[in-house]
Amino acid sequence: MLSNKEKVYLLKLARRSIERVFEGKKGILTYSIGNASIIGNGFLRANPEYDFFLDINSKKNISVRADNRYDVAKMAKKLGGSKNSMKDIEKLLGGGKMPSFPKR
């Protein structure tokens, strides 16, 4: 199993492929990274050119981190609250289709 530091390092290597822009702010979008708070904050501290870290877990819950660089409440207001919020995220962040998650 990878440590949180190792995950942050791998994200740094892959950052260009998972990069997204939202209202002029640059961030990354991950799926089910695990320990999103720790990894997100670690990634942002190691990569000051990024403004936010967004992770969607297997239950489709969203975790957003910004390390005081962006008001995540504004992002949450735009992204959340509708029954089509996953489609809204894809549209607003330019992401691909939401992958199917295994049922447990």
Residues written for the chain:
104
Counting residues of the chain whose pLDDT is more than 90, the rounded percentage is 11
**How confident is the model at residue 88, as a pLDDT?**
57
Where do the structural domains in the chain lie, given as residue ranges?
4-93
Lowest mean pLDDT among 28-32, 40-44, 68-72: 68-72
Q: What is the pLDDT of residue 89?
A: 58
**Average pLDDT of the residues in 50-79:** 81
Judge contact between 79 and 88, C-beta under 8 A.
yes
- Residue 52's SS3 state is strand
In this predicted structure, what is the pLDDT of residue 23? 83
- Mean pLDDT (the chain) is 76
What token pair was written down for 2? 């990878």
- 3-state SS, residue 56: strand
Q: Which residues on adjacent β-strands are paired with residue 29?
A: 54
- Per-residue confidence (pLDDT) for residue 91, from 0 to 100: 56
- Between 88 and 3, the higher pLDDT residue: 3
Q: What are the helix and strand counts (H, E) for the chain?
A: 4, 4
Which run of H or E residues covers position 65? strand 62-65
Residue 19 or 1, more confident: 19
